[in-house]
Amino acid sequence: MAGQLIVGLDVSTRARAEEIVVALGDSVDFYKIGYQCFYGADGFALGKELLRAGKKVFFDLKLLDIDNTVEKGVAAIAATGATMLTIHAYPRTMRAAMRGAAGSGLCVLGVTVLTSMDDNDVREAGYERDAAGLVALRAQQAREAGIGGVVASPHEAEMVRTIMGPKPAIVTPGIRRAGSAMGDQKRAMTPAEALAAGATHLVVARPIVEAPDPGAAARAILAEMAGKRTSFA
């Protein structure tokens, strides 16, 4: 289960990120570095340091640009030895990303619909589909592009698995322990529910990094992933 849990280092300083890594110790071996950490905490250097320490790194950068820029950017990330990288799941962007990742071990993930968005948000953005319909379209396009997987809400994980088949990764943010506050997540699930729905990896940030004891919080989530009940709050 430890390899399926990705802890999001959503913090603004390198020192705080390193404190969390130390607190989690051997219980976590996979870390996500997104905008906040990448730009505010020298996250690129931190990611390379984690890789040298034998950890897995997921650069959550959601790349979207002209094809050449995406291809070269993906190639630069692939050269670090990172495990995962996000791009926006537009067909041309996904094809360009695959060219950039060619010959590497980098798993390129297409972001379908953010877990903070619901049907109204999707329509406001100009799509004549609901959130699930847009996720289905992006998943089909991701399969056609041959990328490594997608990022989707756990609520769409089962549908995505049906569309993409058994091999691609399905990475699900919006994970919250049973009974906890949802915050700005509109399509969240518990760890056990997300895995049962077909997710291969769970991304958890605030419930761990903002906990008084991040190590205890991570162990509680790992226990829930394994189907065990815990009293951690």
Known binding-site residue numbers for substrate = 10, 32, 60-69, 115, 176, 185, 206
160 in Cβ contact with 170 (< 8 Å): yes
Q: At residue 172, what are phi and psi to the nearest 5 degrees? A: -120, 115
233: tokens are 């709050």
Query: Residue 141 corresponds to which tokens in the numbers above?
Result: 């396009």
Q: Is 62 a catalytic residue?
A: yes
Binding site, by residue number, is: 10, 32, 60-69, 115, 176, 185, 206
**175, 202 contact by CB (below 8 A):** yes
CA dist 37 and 39 (Å) reads: 6
Are 147 and 97 spatial neighbours (Cβ–Cβ below 8 Å)? Answer: yes
Cβ atoms 81, 51 nearer than 8 A: yes
- Taking the CA atoms of residue 25, residue 31, residue 34 and residue 37 in that order, the dihedral angle to the nearest 10 degrees is 20
Catalytic residue among 56, 62, 72, 228: 62
Q: What is the DSSP letter of 27?
A: G
**Sequence letter at residue 48:** K
Catalytic residues: 62
